[in-house]
């Protein structure tokens, strides 16, 4: 089956530092990857759509200069939380969508990254 | 943009009973409707999905129904077991486009 990995699984950082989270599709190519944020006891909120070789599309209210997304290859997307603050502490989850034409609508989720900003 | 509402927010049932969770969506262009089960600190796990060209789909104890006209879809779990206890999310999307999630339902199955 399709596997998506995320690294790191958890990270603790000091306020003001930057944190990079990697999302990899291990056994399929993903033209598109999605980044979600989930606060405790809340739903998954889409932050941005990451497109290979082009700029990410951010959802309303998500600061593109704070949450930098790079999708340099068909198997890797990165999310960098710049100048992190305690309110950025959350569970960040990526998902990957197979290359169009595979007749598969399912998105495959990474295991998530727990970010704690002190 | 798409908006997905989900009810109830919590649901408690006795083991062996059925559980039903309902969702409505706003964008008539949405054509893919997955349901996820999420345990604490884990990734969402796809349990069943349905596409807009189908009205009902069943997989053992789990079934999903879709009413395109009314723009709502429901998850039905029969013969519930304690291990079914988790948070369930519905979602809607247009094919492989972004998923918009419902607010979640915390299901508790008591032995």
Query: In this predicted model, what pLDDT tens digit does every residue of A7-23 receive, in sequence order?
Result: 999 999 999 999 999 99
Which pLDDT score is estimated for A11?
97
Which pLDDT score is estimated for A14?
97
**Residues sharing a CB contact under 8 Å with residue B76, sequence separation 6 or more, in sequence order:** B18, B19, B20, B62, B63, B64, B65
Nearest Cα to B63, choosing from B104, B73, B53, B96? Answer: B73
**Residues sharing a CB contact under 8 Å with residue A7, sequence separation 6 or more, in sequence order:** A21, A22, A24, A113
Measured from the Cβ of residue A78, the count of other Cβ atoms closer than 10 Å reads 19
**Of all helices (H) and strands (E), which one includes residue B57?**
strand B56-59
Q: If you average pLDDT over every residue of chain A, what do you get?
A: 92
Q: What are the chain B neighbours of A115 within 8 Å (beta carbons)?
A: none
Nearest Cα to A97, choosing from A37, A32, A45, A35? Answer: A32
Query: In this predicted model, what pLDDT tens digit does every residue of B40-74 receive, in sequence order?
Result: 999 999 999 999 888 999 999 999 999 999 999 99
Mean pLDDT (whole number) for A60-83: 94
Angle B54-B57-B62 (CA atoms, 0-180°, nearest 5)? 155
Q: What are the chain A neighbours of B104 within 8 Å (beta carbons)?
A: 42-43
Q: Which of B32, B89, B96 sits opposite A44 (nearest CB)?
A: B89
Strand runs labelled E in A1-118: 4-7, 10-13, 19-25, 30-38, 44-51, 57-58, 67-73, 76-81, 90-98, 108-109, 113-117
Which pLDDT score is estimated for B54?
86
Which pLDDT score is estimated for A102?
57
β-sheet bridge partners, residue B67: B72
Q: What are the chain B neighbours of A93 within 8 Å (beta carbons)?
A: 43-44
Q: If you measure CA to CA, which chain A residue comes closest to B44? A: A109
Q: Which of A46, A105, A112 sits opposite B100 (nearest CB)?
A: A46
Lowest mean pLDDT among A94-108, B5-19, B57-71, B82-96: A94-108
Instruction: Determine the distance from the C-alpha atom of residue A63 to the mean position of all C-alpha atoms in its chain, rounded to a whole number.
Output: 14
Interface test with B, best of A37, A57, A109 (most B CBs within 10 A): A109
Nearest Cα to B75, choosing from B93, B90, B85, B92? Answer: B90
Task: Pick the most confident of A103-107, A108-112, B95-99.
Answer: A108-112
CB within 8 Å: A105 and B49: yes
Measured from the Cβ of residue A103, the count of other Cβ atoms closer than 10 Å reads 7
């Amino acid at each position: 089956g399709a596997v998506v990995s995320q690294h790191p699984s958890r990270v603790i950082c000091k306020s003001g530092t930057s944190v990079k989270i990697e999302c990899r599709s291990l056994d399929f190519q993903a033209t598109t990857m999605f980044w979600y944020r989930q606060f405790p006891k809340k739903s998954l909120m889409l932050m941005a759509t990451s497109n290979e070789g082009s700029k990410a599309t951010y959802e309303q209210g998500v600061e593109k200069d704070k949450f930098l997304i790079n999708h340099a290859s068909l198997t890797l997307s990165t999310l960098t939380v710049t100048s992190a603050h305690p309110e950025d502490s959350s569970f960040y989850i990526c998902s990957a969508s197979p290359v169009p034409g595979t007749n598969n609508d399912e998105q495959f989720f990474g295991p998530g990254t727990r970010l704690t900003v002190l | 943009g798409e908006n997905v509402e989900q009810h109830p927010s919590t649901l408690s049932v006795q083991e062996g009973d059925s559980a039903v969770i309902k969702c409505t969506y706003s964008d008539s262009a949405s054509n893919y409707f997955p349901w996820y089960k999420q345990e604490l600190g884990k990734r969402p796990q796809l349990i069943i999905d349905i596409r807009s060209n189908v009205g009902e789909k069943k997989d053992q104890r789990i079934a999903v129904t879709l009413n395109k006209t009314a723009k709502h879809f429901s998850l039905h779990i029969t013969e519930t077991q304690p291990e079914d206890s988790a948070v369930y999310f519905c979602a809607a999307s247009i094919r492989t486009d972004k998923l918009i999630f419902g607010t979640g339902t915390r299901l508790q199955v008591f032995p």
